[in-house]
């Protein structure tokens, strides 16, 4: 399985490592290029931008977002919505309030109607 991870802090980077150890292919993106380079050196496919991230993932694309709750999550999900298509998957793995996730899910679903 191929999975993209956005947010390569302690939790996101360790999730990528565990996924790769289990045989999954991971595409890695973070605002800090050092975090991306570190995981690329361990076998992840690096992405230098969200455009590259979306282009490297094979449809149906799956992105796991591990960024802080609030504006960072809102921003990343909105940017993915501009790049992803119907059938692609966005997982908010951060500590967002579930009501925010429900609202974002409805908003994303309306884009495919």
Structural domain count of the chain: 1
- What is the spatial distance between Cα 75 and Cα 20, in angstroms, rounded to a whole number? 27
Q: Please tell me the predicted confidence (pLDDT) of residue 106.
A: 72
Residues 12 and 88: their CA atoms lie apart, in Å, by: 20
| Confidence at residue 33, expressed as pLDDT on a 0 to 100 scale | 98
Per-residue pLDDT of the chain (113 residues; tens, 9 = 90+): 999 999 999 999 999 999 999 999 999 999 999 999 999 999 999 999 999 999 999 999 999 999 998 899 989 999 999 999 989 999 988 777 677 667 767 777 766 65
So what's the pLDDT on residue 103? Answer: 72
- pLDDT score of 107: 75
Q: Which two tokens stand for residue 11?
A: 């939790």
Q: Is 67 exposed, middle or buried (0-12, 13-18, 19+ CB in 10 A)?
A: buried
Domain that holds residue 14: 2-111
Local structure of 63: helix, strand or coil:
strand
90 — phi, psi (to 5°)? -125, 125
Report the pLDDT value the prediction gives residue 94, as an integer from 0 to 100. Answer: 78
CATH number of the domain to which 23 belongs = 3.40.50.720
Closest Cα partner for 67 from 85, 90, 48?
90
Distance of CA 77 to the CA centre of its chain: 9
């Amino acid at each position: 399985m191929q999975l993209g991870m956005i947010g390569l802090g302690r939790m996101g980077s360790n999730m990528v490592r565990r996924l790769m150890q289990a045989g999954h292919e991971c595409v890695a993106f973070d605002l800090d290029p050092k975090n991306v380079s570190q995981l690329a050196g361990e076998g992840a496919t690096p992405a230098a931008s969200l455009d590259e991230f979306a282009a490297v993932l094979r449809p149906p694309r799956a992105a796991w977002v591990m960024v802080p709750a609030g504006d960072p999550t809102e921003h990343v999900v909105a940017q993915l919505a501009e790049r992803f298509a119907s059938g692609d998957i966005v997982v908010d793995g951060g500590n967002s309030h579930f009501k925010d996730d429900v609202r974002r899910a409805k908003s994303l679903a309306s884009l495919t109607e």
